[in-house]
């Protein structure tokens, strides 16, 4: 069974053809429940997101800020497992036909088994993985299995990355490059870092694959700002915060759908 790396590439290319950035939403699996998380992913796509990153909740995250950590804690206390992450990918992809990636730290994959994880993700219809803490120089085993199963390997670059390092990272990656707009953890912010545009420019000089920007984008206006210079706009904490603030799970799902629609207008320049 081959994964959906091609679907991811085609989706990003179609957005570019329309003269706009793609909207990429992040939501953790198992939050507020496994079923509720699946409904939230579907709502994000139905509301206007082009791609979704499904987070694999982790007890010791290095990139996730307090909002996503709170959601991860709820999911972990609810007993979420890798099988639930795969189910989330499978059911959301089957319902929408959209490309869905998993964002995960390396330790859970290492313990689960690289071959097993990549085979199951491909079978579920997944498009690939974002691996924020896997160094490129230690990624050969992962990339071998990901390529065999038709999965994208998305690496994260940061404003601190030197040009030579950017070239090394982008040469090893596929699908798109995740450009972290600032140094630090995820979370909504009042403004998007001015470093983001420079990082996109430097990254683009090393690769032809799309460069998508995340960390800090929370409003339609910010999405529109980033869409001026990036191939994709990644939004996570703002979706999770809407769900945390909702009075019940159903309202949380509708809040995700509404925010996706607002952000979709932002990346399309329709504000």
User: Is 133 one of the annotated active-site residues of the chain?
Assistant: no
Q: Are 84 and 104 in contact (CB under 8 A)?
A: no
User: Is 64 one of the annotated active-site residues of the chain?
Assistant: yes
Task: Give residue 108's region: left, alpha or beta (phi > 0; psi -120 to 50).
Answer: alpha
Catalytic residue among 64, 197, 225, 231: 64
Show the tokens assigned to 203.
Answer: 């990254």
Q: Are 264 and 22 in contact (CB under 8 A)?
A: no
Catalytic residue among 50, 53, 91, 120: 53
Mind telling me the catalytic residues?
Answer: 53, 64
């Amino acid at each position: 069974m081959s994964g959906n790396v091609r679907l991811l590439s085609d989706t990003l290319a179609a957005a570019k053809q329309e003269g706009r950035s793609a909207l990429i939403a992040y939501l953790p699996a198992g939050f507020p429940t496994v079923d509720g998380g699946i409904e939230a992913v579907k709502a994000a796509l139905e509301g206007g997101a082009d791609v979704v990153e499904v987070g694999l909740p982790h007890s010791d995250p290095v990139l996730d800020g307090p909002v996503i950590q709170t959601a991860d804690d709820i999911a972990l206390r609810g007993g979420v497992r890798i099988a639930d992450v795969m189910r989330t990918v499978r059911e959301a992809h089957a319902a929408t036909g959209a490309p869905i990636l998993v964002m995960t730290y390396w330790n859970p994959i290492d313990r689960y088994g690289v071959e097993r994880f990549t085979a199951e993700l491909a079978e579920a219809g997944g498009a690939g993985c974002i691996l924020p803490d896997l160094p490129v120089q230690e990624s050969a085993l992962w990339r071998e299995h990901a390529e065999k199963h038709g999965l994208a390997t998305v690496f994260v670059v940061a404003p601190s990355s030197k040009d030579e390092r950017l070239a090394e990272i982008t040469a090893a990656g596929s699908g798109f490059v995740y450009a972290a707009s600032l140094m630090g953890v995820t979370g909504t912010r009042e403004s998007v870092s001015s470093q983001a545009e420079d990082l996109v420019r430097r990254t683009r000089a090393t690769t032809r694959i799309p460069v998508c920007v995340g960390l800090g984008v929370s409003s339609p206006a910010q999405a529109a700002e980033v869409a001026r210079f990036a191939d994709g706009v990644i939004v996570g904490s703002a979706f999770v915060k809407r769900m945390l603030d909702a009075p019940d799970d159903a309202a949380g799902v509708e809040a995700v759908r509404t925010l996706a629609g607002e952000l979709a207008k932002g990346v399309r320049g329709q504000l």
